[in-house]
Structure 1
Amino acid sequence: MTDTSWQPDLDSHPGPKYLALTRALREAIRLGELAPGAQLPTVRDLAWRLHVTPGTVSRAYQLATQEGLLAATVGRGTFVAARAPRLGPTQALFQERDLSDEPWLVDLRSPQLPDVGQGAAFSAAMQKIGQGLDAAWQDYPSQRGEAPLRAAICGWLSDRLLGTFGPEDIALTHGGQNALLLVFLCCLRGDRPVILTEDLAYPGIRHAARLVRADVVGVEIDDEGMLPDALEAACRRHGAQILVLTPEAQNPTASRMGATRRAEIAAIARRYDLQVIEDDCYSITESNLPAMRAIAPERTWYVGSMSKSVSAALRFGYVVCPSGMGEAGRLTAQHGFFALARPVSDLALELLESGAAQEIRRKVQEVFASRLMTAVNALGRFDIRWQAGLPFLWVPLPSGWRASTFARQAEAEGVLIRQADEYALIHGRAPHALRIALAGAIPADRYASAVATLARLLGHPPSDMAV
């Protein structure tokens, strides 16, 4: 039975609204106001009654689910969990929102790739692959059979300053998220290992960490990325084993780490024997700075994928392992899934060898460049952060706006955006800021109109907001 009468007083709980709601849920369950098995109101219904954004309620439900307080069932709703402990993941990696019944909304939450002919290129590649099918397609795929694809990835990465590497240093994965998990499985040891990452970071890091029973600790960042002093303090305090960072294109702040800072981070990693995961999935296509893999090749695992440049549906990623660790990476992959499925590996190889993948990437960048110009022209008078080639920008909000209030008002006017707190760790703090995706799948005129709406809202904060 749905408990439609439950409506907490968020003002009695200090801090951000999503944390206040999480505390209210925790207290109501502890006091028996919400009994095991009780169905909670829908995200949208509770958000409307509490005058907060659906994203605020969704995040509170997610945090309570992570703690084992709630249980979410696709198609049925969210319930107060039974007292027995749950095994495995307790929430979805991403909370999908079906916009088919809300066609007026423009979704600027994720930088969807534009259609630049991927379907035609994939069709042609699959037809060519189909002409050469043989008995090998009846057997298990093998790491040895992926050697040509690993060689092709070396060419794909020729515009990156990664130091010396070759096909023998590469392990192939089912996308960037799978690559993170592969490195965790390869490197972590002990019952409760610790992973360090930026205090605003891609949420998939903490989800992958949970699968390997690891704790994630956030490290303070500034406009250039992770602070060396804060990293060293975290190493002394927590005895971490892995550092995850995004020096080239930080998600969500769009910052880029300079060469001196990268060298400082590498020195600390050596001092405390950290393995370094360099997440470059969102990066621009070219860089004139040495990657962490070039600075500390003995301990850096460089992670990338085609999801942000060719097709997210392909689920194809890769890891350039530390020098001499390629076999360890491939063995970990073999223990997890033998090797990539033949349709995926053969399609990726054909796209790379034919040049189709490179051409798709070039056209995608052209569309994103145009979208970026539209956004910068509309929002340039505000404090925005962006990089050429990056499919999102970061907007610290003007005085008078709070992130939750802005997101609620933007949605009321037909635009969905992501708040900074969606990237904060569970116990972390988030600034009043938002990430705007360039959203290449949306028609250009609708995108321009949505960005203009955001610009108008940014310029008119609520007059009664305390500053």
Structure 2
Amino acid sequence: MTDTTWCPDLAQFAGPKYLALAHALRDAVREGRLNEGVKLPPVRELAWRIGVTPGTVARAYTIGTDEGLLEAAVGRGTFVAARAPRLGPSQPLHIERPEPDAQGRGPVDLRSPQLPDVGQSAALAEAMVRVSTQIGSDWLEYPSLRRDKPLREALAAWLQGRVLGAFDADEIVPAHGGQSAMNLVLQCCLRGDRPIVFAEELAYPGFRHAARLNRAEMVPVAMDEHGMRADALDAACRRHGGRILFLTPEAQNPTTVRMPLARREEIVAVARAHDLQIIEDDCYSVPGGAEPSLRALAPERVWHVTSLSKSVSAGLRMGFIVTPRGMGEAGRLTAQHSFFGLARPLTDIVTDLLVSGRAAELRDRVNAVYARRLTTAVNALGRYDLSWQPGLSFLWLRLPIGWRASTFAREAEGAGVLIRSADEYALQDGHAPNAVRIAVAAGVSEERYAAALATLARLLARPPGDLPV
């Protein structure tokens, strides 16, 4: 891969400079003046060459990356992508688990939390049998907007105990998992060719994917020890405009931060001042959370998204939205137009699990396993700069001096442990701290899980300068 001295003339393009630069990038790639694999100038260098701000170049690079023309590698730069543009983010949303060897062993995967089987397999089989006895001619028809009301009522009951403000089944929108739910909200709320959405500067990669699919531009907002800063959000709104805010106040992914009530109230005040809609991601729901949700603080503008993937079964693909007041019908219409409603087998099986109480039993058993595994992780790594929450299924480790996140992740992989670097959560040209996220692996034995954590502890104690050559 080679560097380029590419220096476009923006005078030939109308409109804002960042869009003009994005047009120039497209033309240069299509006409062969920027070839596949060429490294583009760093943001600040190109900004100096053409007389614009670094933010202008960063926004243009982001558009090019979203469109598949460019690829960004944190720490290495931005490159012209392969000729066949790729859809989706550079990092896959769904992480394929490594195949075990002939002895049933392989790398211990701590990249994404793994649910333990605490009876889900049997519970699903039993539910399927019960549902099969109720199949009638109505299964031959497309699902209607009202046919899923028993499921919505069961989902509303499932949320009892969460501080979400007043709502009922009419403000529930079922979806194919949390990611699908976020896409539905964007489809409900976004307008224009390149709408602006805001997110924490370190954020779940699925936010970027959802924004890209809806042709939205993602703008990162600075964080501190309490989560997103309200003053930074206000400044971003004044500079960029914007329509939607993605936020994870209960268990920020990846940093584990729980946003205090005062900060939640500040964020809501900014959202009201700039008329932002808020997507509140609560898929990593922490048991026992007592703070009012953003939905409770601003029920007129918060779309609360959650799912059963982290507590019952990821394979069911059951997510749902608690919409702002009066927006349930609009949300369900959007779902109907997108995929004609959820399949009857799915809605009936999930309703059975919820109404029978089996889903709640499974959730409690899963949480008990997570609690034990989390204790094991804290005991193994607690001497380091570690953040976690009771009941949460991942931890955030800020690395000691001598380690870089990418290097540590590579060394861990070489030792048979897979983890995720902070780079994977940073937005385009954003700052990635020297940290890694470690998930709770409940899909392997206690012994293998403890051994994997011990491996990480040994690596942490021996920075690269101390490693054998």
Q: Same fold (TM over 0.5)?
A: yes
Aligned residue in 2 for 1:449: 451
Distance, in Å, in 1 between the alignment partners of 2:196 and 2:36 is: 36
Aligned residue in 2 for 1:15: none
1:28-85 CA-partner distances (Å, limit 9, x unpaired): x9665869xxxxxxxxxxxxxxxxxxxxxxxxxxx96853258xxxxxxxx9633xx8
Q: How far apart are 1:91 and its partner, in Å?
A: 6.2
Distance, in Å, in 1 between the alignment partners of 2:446 and 2:242 is: 45
1:215-260 CA-partner distances (Å, limit 9, x unpaired): 0011111121101111111111110100010000100000000011
1:276-295 CA-partner distances (Å, limit 9, x unpaired): 11000012133111000000
Q: How does 1:25-64 map to 2 (within 5 A)?
A: 32=35
Classify 1:176/1:34 alpha carbon distance in 2 versus 1 (closer, same or farther; 3 Å): closer
Q: TM-score normalised to the size of structure 1?
A: 0.82
Q: How far apart are 1:404 and its partner, in Å?
A: 1.1
Aligned residue in 1 for 2:68: 67
Distance, in Å, in 1 between the alignment partners of 2:34 and 2:270 is: 46
Q: How does 1:65-464 map to 2 (within 5 A)?
A: 67-69=68-70, 81-82=82-83, 89=88, 93-94=92-93, 96-97=95-96, 99-100=98-99, 103-463=105-465
Amino acid paired to 1:365: N
The question of whether the paired residues in 2 share the 8 Å contact of 1:192 and 1:214 is answered with: yes
Which residues of structure 2 form unaligned runs of 5+?
Answer: 4-28, 39-63, 72-79
Classify 1:274/1:344 alpha carbon distance in 2 versus 1 (closer, same or farther; 3 Å): same
The question of whether the paired residues in 2 share the 8 Å contact of 1:66 and 1:90 is answered with: no
The question of whether the paired residues in 2 share the 8 Å contact of 1:66 and 1:91 is answered with: no
Distance, in Å, in 1 between the alignment partners of 2:422 and 2:164 is: 31
Give the secondary structure class of the aligned counterpart of 1:303: strand
Give the secondary structure class of the aligned counterpart of 1:463: helix
Amino acid paired to 2:200: E
Q: How far apart are 1:366 and its partner, in Å?
A: 0.5
The question of whether the paired residues in 2 share the 8 Å contact of 1:402 and 1:432 is answered with: yes
Distance, in Å, in 2 between the alignment partners of 1:98 and 1:153 is: 30
Distance, in Å, in 2 between the alignment partners of 1:273 and 1:388 is: 34
The question of whether the paired residues in 2 share the 8 Å contact of 1:93 and 1:207 is answered with: no
The question of whether the paired residues in 2 share the 8 Å contact of 1:276 and 1:299 is answered with: yes
Amino acid paired to 2:439: A
The question of whether the paired residues in 1 share the 8 Å contact of 2:89 and 2:209 is answered with: no
Distance, in Å, in 2 between the alignment partners of 1:397 and 1:88 is: 33
| Percent of residue pairs identical | 56
The question of whether the paired residues in 2 share the 8 Å contact of 1:192 and 1:215 is answered with: yes
Q: How far apart are 1:100 and its partner, in Å?
A: 1.8
Classify 1:279/1:354 alpha carbon distance in 2 versus 1 (closer, same or farther; 3 Å): same
Classify 1:165/1:304 alpha carbon distance in 2 versus 1 (closer, same or farther; 3 Å): same
Give the secondary structure class of the aligned counterpart of 1:159: coil
Q: How far apart are 1:371 and its partner, in Å?
A: 0.3
Distance, in Å, in 2 between the alignment partners of 1:428 and 1:287 is: 30
Q: How far apart are 1:93 and its partner, in Å?
A: 3.9
Distance, in Å, in 2 between the alignment partners of 1:191 and 1:460 is: 50
Classify 1:132/1:198 alpha carbon distance in 2 versus 1 (closer, same or farther; 3 Å): same
Distance, in Å, in 2 between the alignment partners of 1:255 and 1:90 is: 24
- After superposing on structure 2, the runs of 4+ consecutive aligned residues of structure 1 that deviate more than 6 Å are none
1:261-308 CA-partner distances (Å, limit 9, x unpaired): 000000000000000110000121331110000000000000000001
Give the secondary structure class of the aligned counterpart of 2:342: coil
Which residues of structure 1 form unaligned runs of 5+?
Answer: 1-5, 10-25, 36-62, 71-78
The question of whether the paired residues in 1 share the 8 Å contact of 2:99 and 2:106 is answered with: no
Amino acid paired to 1:216: M
1:110-150 CA-partner distances (Å, limit 9, x unpaired): 10101111110000000000011100111111120111111
Q: How far apart are 1:172 and its partner, in Å?
A: 0.8
Give the secondary structure class of the aligned counterpart of 1:339: coil
Distance, in Å, in 2 between the alignment partners of 1:250 and 1:286 is: 16
The question of whether the paired residues in 2 share the 8 Å contact of 1:159 and 1:285 is answered with: no
Give the secondary structure class of the aligned counterpart of 1:197: strand
Give the secondary structure class of the aligned counterpart of 1:185: helix
Aligned residue in 1 for 2:9: none
Give the secondary structure class of the aligned counterpart of 2:231: helix
Aligned residue in 2 for 1:76: none
Q: How far apart are 1:90 and its partner, in Å?
A: 7.6
Give the secondary structure class of the aligned counterpart of 1:186: helix
Give the secondary structure class of the aligned counterpart of 2:245: strand
Q: How far apart are 1:428 and its partner, in Å?
A: 1.1
The question of whether the paired residues in 2 share the 8 Å contact of 1:65 and 1:91 is answered with: no
Amino acid paired to 1:99: P
Q: TM-score normalised to the size of structure 2?
A: 0.82
Amino acid paired to 1:422: E
Q: How far apart are 1:104 and its partner, in Å?
A: 3.0
Amino acid paired to 2:153: A
Give the secondary structure class of the aligned counterpart of 1:315: coil
Classify 1:33/1:194 alpha carbon distance in 2 versus 1 (closer, same or farther; 3 Å): closer
Q: How far apart are 1:426 and its partner, in Å?
A: 1.8
Q: Please, what is the CA RMSD of the aligned residues?
A: 2.3
The question of whether the paired residues in 1 share the 8 Å contact of 2:278 and 2:301 is answered with: yes
Give the secondary structure class of the aligned counterpart of 2:258: coil
